[in-house]
Amino acid sequence: MALPRSPLEVLLAMGIVITGVNYGELLPWMILITIIMYLIDNIWGRLYFKKFTYPSQQSQERNRQNSQKRSKLLHLVLALTTFLLLVIIFGNIFDLDFILIVTLIVFPFACIWALVMRRWKSFWIIGWNRWRNSVNNMHNFIVLFITLALFTNSLNASLALSIIEEPIHYVSDYPLLILIMIQSMFVILSMFGVHPIATAGILSGISSMLMEVLSPMSLAISIIIGGVSTVPIGTYGLVVTITSMSLKQSPYYITYYNLIYSFIFSWIGIIIAYLLI
């Protein structure tokens, strides 16, 4: 649920780049969708898991643990809020590309926050090791984005683009159907191993036509929520694969189990996007 509003999320960045919307204007809607999904998830969790009993803890120990968790949670919320505000402020002042702003801010912000938290030494030790391991294992992302660029450019220069555009022309008077088609496209392709970023790349080729029917904000929300809502059901995705290995269950079972959540997530995005047309 943190992905729709996170400035470090690639799908959010792609939605902004494709539509040209301002992150500061998009953020309140992403937060609203996150809150709605958080409430739905909590209500469902309480109703479903209340039939299970859990071992009781000593009251004093429980209060101490809750106090520690609250303190860490407040630090996290403060850090995220500060970072989001800096992204919005610098983006409005310098009028730079969203991805460039995030790239330039994230490292200095991390250094300053480490100093404030008095974790400078551990920040450099852990950060250096993580950075070195990440850089040496980025070949998957290199392959993904190079092939995505080749695929998108080839699609835009081929007749295949007209095949995608044709059904949209038929329903151009019904924007709700277009929003449903976008969400369905993300869901169906994710089940066959197509990454949501690749699906967003396909939609970028017809974004100008889509924005003749939808507003840029509406299209941005549809792309971002469409991509993020497939994370729990992408049969070949990282989240489903790790969950499948941890629970020793079939990835198709994990996909099936999470379908209702993703369905609700998609429809929340469709409704908000439709109201903003």
Query: Is the full-model pTM beyond 0.95?
Result: no
Q: What is the pLDDT of residue 66?
A: 65
CA distance 190 to 231: 9
Task: Count CB atoms within 10 A of the CB of residue 91.
Answer: 21
**Residue 178's closest CA among 222, 120, 143, 128?**
222
* pLDDT tens-digit readout, 230-257: 888 887 777 888 888 888 888 888 888 8
**Residue 261's closest CA among 96, 43, 74?**
43
Burial of 17 (0-12, 13-18, 19+ CB in 10 A): middle
Q: Look at 197 and 218; give whichever has higher pLDDT.
A: 218
CB-based contacts of 204: which residues, under 8 Å, 6+ apart? 14, 18, 152
Q: Look at 208 and 134; give whichever has higher pLDDT.
A: 208
Q: What is the DSSP letter of 4?
A: G
Least confident of 35-39, 68-72, 129-133, 262-266: 68-72
- H or E stretch covering 13: helix 10-19
* pLDDT tens-digit readout, 158-182: 777 777 778 888 888 889 999 999 9
- Domain locations in the chain as residue ranges: 139-277
